[in-house]
Structure 1
Amino acid sequence: MRHGRLPRHSGARALLTFAGAALAVLLVSTTAVAGYAVLSTVGTVSSNAIDITGPDGTPPPEPPAFGAIEGGFNLLIVGTDNDANQGAEFGERDATLNDVNILLHVSDDHQSAVAMSLPRDLVISHPECTDPETGEVFGAMLAQPLNDAYERGGLGCVVNTVTNLTGLPVDYAAVVSFNGVIALSNAVGGVPVCLVEPIEDAESGLNLPAGESVISGATALAYLRARYGVGDGSDLSRISNQQAFLSSLLRTVRSDQTLSDPVKLYGLAHVAAENMRFSTSLANPATMISLALSLKDIPLEKIVFVQYPVVDSTEFSGKVEPNQELADQLLAMVQNDQPFLLPDGSTGNGVEDGGAAPPAEPPAAGTDAPAPAEGSESPTPVAPPVLEGLSGQTAGETTCAKANSE
């Protein structure tokens, strides 16, 4: 094992959280047109598929011929900061890092979901990994940033590293880079974001006025990369800001306008196939549609975006380490599909409450609670526990980006 000084990485390397948003769009857009769009691009998707079978060699279950996949599942979205075709437009890069790591867990009953953002600068142990292209074996190591994993063995190594950290097996995974973010954000037609005050971030190129804007393309990428102009200028502020973006995106794709637009849905599926790489377990269009059917009816207030709990590292400047006690509580609840509540003021340093949230979605057909039998009393509902110290928001909350005042 290797234990020692952390390598220094440029602050220009930024998160690509739109990767998770774009795949979420594919999974929740489940009209017949969306299914046809996925099927029509299966050749491209399959030819670029990546094997993420773990050390135990157990593949995920086969999807049913029709209908939602049975039980819960975990899907990892990885955003990388390098691409052979992007040139030097986003700065010189001597390595490809997994700067976005979002683990989506869907409950066994398909009634709730948790999207957990794992900070790129999270200092953890790494398992042994093998580069699938060269066959080079990288030994296990201690105390290194999470975003070193991709360089040690690609998507499969990131999957194994996240499983090693969380104890949650990853069934499906996908990866995207800067150019893919631009293409995907154009295909979805733009996402509304709101700013408390104007934000100008020279590092990312973001320059947006106060109030609401609908962003796509290079502006969406700049928004998601912005760090020093947001909140307290930290990577954790950027995560909270990106969670606000993801929440807005999900509200957008749940609208009739998005789901009823065949051109937009087909374009999104085609662009995703051209710009994203999927695990072999996800490259089957039947699997994509089955996962989509599992996600499409989850109420927005039951989709929770959280940041993996961390504390500032005392050994490595500018890095973070697991808040082990809180992380253990969170992961146990996720693993067991136990509901939990976020504390007041949990949205993080990068955003603040944007006002009234959209009205709650009506329950899906057939989900109304049965009336109590005559003469019986309704059981008193037990409120889920509040996980104090947790940072995040639900997809039903509207939050707005804050400028860095320092």
Structure 2
Amino acid sequence: MPAVTRRPFARHGKQARRRAWTSAVTVVAAAAAVLLVSGTSLAAIAGAQLKAAPQTVQLSTDDQSTAKTADITAIKGGANILLIGSDTRVGQFDSDEHVEGARNDVTMLVHLSQDHQQLTAVSFPRDLMVPIPACTNPATGTTYPAASSAMFNTALGNGGVSCVVDTVENLTGLSIPYAGLITFDGVIEMSNALGGVDVCVAQPIDDTFTGLHLTAGSHKLEGTDALAFLRTRHGVGDGSDLARISSQQVFLSALLRKVTADGTLSNPLTLYKLAGAALSNMTLSDGLARTRTIVGVATALRGMSTANMLFVQYPVADDPTNPARVVVDEQTAHTLNVALQNDVRTSLGDSTTGRASQESPSSGGTASGTPSSDPSAGTSTGGSSSAGTPSGTSSTPATPSTPKRTATATPLPSSITGQSASERTCSVGN
């Protein structure tokens, strides 16, 4: 086979004195743990938790109107929820560092199909250069003018949750009537409530920035270890934020398999802890902070196969003017946007795991050889490593253990990376 010449990788988001406090990505994990519980139990738990809920936030007038009048389980074209993780540490777990200005360093758009057969969680890189609309900061009253090209993760500081929602709506063409902002305290509480999450590591992870040191193999992560795993960027793949996204998808997929497979949802105490960990560490939009809404989503997701829960990265390419930034891969992003707008059931290509994840070496199992016990996985799928693949390009195809594509789903372009929650993948160290 001829040698392949690769150009140097852009380490997106490597900014002076900014540490990767992005463990709030587990907003998806927290929300999923709450939303996947059965209706009756959730109604009581969510009702009690929402009475003591944290802050709520208003979205734009149009979004508020939709959220107040619509049944989230019957929205034409499916329901969209934006989940945001801030890098601020003020008032949070043993905070000894102040990062000026909150930033949406983790942003995930969750699309629940109208037929309740698929959930798609789209991660937006923090260093993506995008248009940001004019926004007014709800805390300071400062108005920021529209920008034709600005870093995506500045939207939260400009105008709060509503500004991030408006930015993603403009980017995708979707209406997003529901949103939530989570702090990273929820990571520790969520992982502890579950008794830890089993995560596969293909190569050792050594990251002095987060203090995370893991050998190759399977590790049960909870508390601060889970927090460090989700924060680490320097310890996985090529050290970029894009690598971190794929490594986080490894954790979130493992968490969803655990929540749906081992009796978690039938344990009232665990349910209460999960609901509390999620809701007490979130700021919810008015429409989402309602028992009816959360119970509605729980009902819609009940019984959904983890094979139909997809994690994907929004398509990007290297910014030609700045190697530390990325821009939208317009053609591929258009394909994804249209699929979401039209509520099309989709599947990933056969070799599309991200920069810092790869298929587990044991077919249907974890790195330590544990066989799959996920009854909701359906046709479990596999993928090969594309760690180090430049953004906006696809990896070299490899033969997966099980094909990802199904006859009933429309395959997304091969350059869109990600995985389903049923896939047993491993995080790749560096």
- When normalised by structure 2's length, the TM-score is 0.82
Does 2:297 correspond to 1:291? yes
Aligned to 2:26: 18
What is the CA–CA distance in structure 2 between the aligned matches of 1:160 and 1:57, rounded to whole Å?
12
* C-alpha distance in structure 1 between counterparts of 2:268 and 2:147, whole Å: 48
Question: Which deviates more, 271-280 or 392-401?
Answer: 271-280
Contact 2:27 2:278 in 1 (8 A): no
CA–CA separation in structure 2 for the residues paired with 1:7 and 1:255: 38
1:274 is matched with which residue?
280
The letter of the residue matching 2:429 is A
| Corresponding letter in the other structure for 1:73 | A
Aligned to 2:134: 128
* 1:30 maps to 2:38: yes
Given the superposition, is the C-alpha separation of residues 96 and 198 from structure 1 closer, same or farther in structure 2, using an over 3 Å criterion? Answer: same
For residue 275 of structure 1, what is the amino acid of its counterpart?
N
* Structure-2 separation of matches of 1:383 and 1:261: 34
Q: Which moved more, 1:120-129 or 1:164-173?
A: 164-173
- Which whole-Å CA distance do the structure 1 matches of 2:16 and 2:143 have between them? 23
Pairing 1:113–2:119 present:
yes
23, 29, 49: which one aligns with 2:56: 49
Q: How has the CA–CA distance of structure 1 residues 272 and 388 changed in structure 2, closer, same or farther, with 3 Å as cutoff?
A: closer
- 1:81 aligns with 87
Superposition deviation, residue 63 in structure 1 = 5.8
Question: Which residue of the partner structure matches residue 385 of structure 2?
Answer: none
* Alpha carbons of structure 1 residues 137 and 356: separation in structure 2 relative to 1, 3 Å: same
- Structure 1: how far apart are the matches of 2:14 and 2:410? 41
Corresponding residue for residue 242 of structure 1: 248
**Aligned counterparts of 1:21 and 1:121: Cα–Cα separation in 2:** 22
Following TM superposition, by how much is the alpha carbon of 1:339 offset from its aligned partner in structure 2, in angstroms? 2.8
Larger mean CA deviation between 88-97 and 291-300 belongs to: 88-97
Aligned partner letter, 1:50: V
Bigger mean CA deviation after superposition, 127-136 or 242-251: 127-136
Q: Distance in 1 between matches of 2:107 and 2:113?
A: 19
Q: Deviations over 1:121-175 (max 9, x none)?
A: 0011100111223322111012211100111111111111111111111121111
1:17-71 Cα deviation digits (max 9, x unpaired): 11111111100012533321111122222x611111356763325465xx95554
Contact 1:69 1:290 in 2 (8 A): no
Partner of 1:167: 173
Query: Is 1:400 matched with 2:421?
Result: no
Say if 1:9 and 1:331 are closer, same or farther in 2 by CA, change over 3 A. Answer: farther
Match of 1:139 in 2: 145
Partners of 2:351 and 2:414 within 8 A in 1: no
Q: Is the 8 A contact 2:39 2:298 kept in 1?
A: no
Q: Does 1:218 align with 2:233?
A: no
Alignment match of 1:351 (pick from 340, 353, 357)? 357
Q: Which runs of 5+ in 2 are unaligned?
A: 1-12, 365-371, 379-406
Asked if 2 retains the 8 angstrom alpha-carbon contact of 1:189 and 1:264, the reply is: no
The answer for the alignment partner of 1:378 in structure 2 is none
Aligned residue pairs total 380
CA contact (8 A) 1:42 1:285 kept: yes
In 2, the alpha carbon distance for the partners of 1:391 and 1:90 equals 36
1:19 partner SS: helix
Q: CA deviation at 1:87?
A: 7.3
Q: Which amino acid aligns with 2:171?
A: L
Q: 2:183 & 2:409 partners in 1: Cα distance?
A: 41
1:177 aligns with 2:183: yes
Q: Which amino acid aligns with 2:376?
A: E
* Counterpart Cα distance in 2 of 1:53 and 1:246: 30
Q: Deviations over 1:325-356 (max 9, x none)?
A: 00001111111122333223210120110133
Give the Cα–Cα distance (whole angstroms) in 1 for the partners of residues 409 and 224 of structure 2: 43
2:395: which partner in 1?
none
TM-score, scaled relative to structure 1: 0.87
C-alpha change, 1:33 and 1:386, in structure 2 (3 Å) is closer
Identity of aligned residues (%): 37
Q: Which moved more, 1:116-125 or 1:178-187?
A: 178-187
* Equivalent runs, 1:192-271 vs 2, <5 Å: 192-271=198-277
| CA spacing shift, 1:301–1:308, aligned 2, 3 Å | same
Q: Deviations over 1:252-304 (max 9, x none)?
A: 11124211111111112123232111110011111100011112222211111
User: Alpha carbons of 1:362 and 1:158: their partners in 2 closer, same or farther (altered >3 Å)?
Assistant: closer
Paired residue secondary structure (2:340): helix
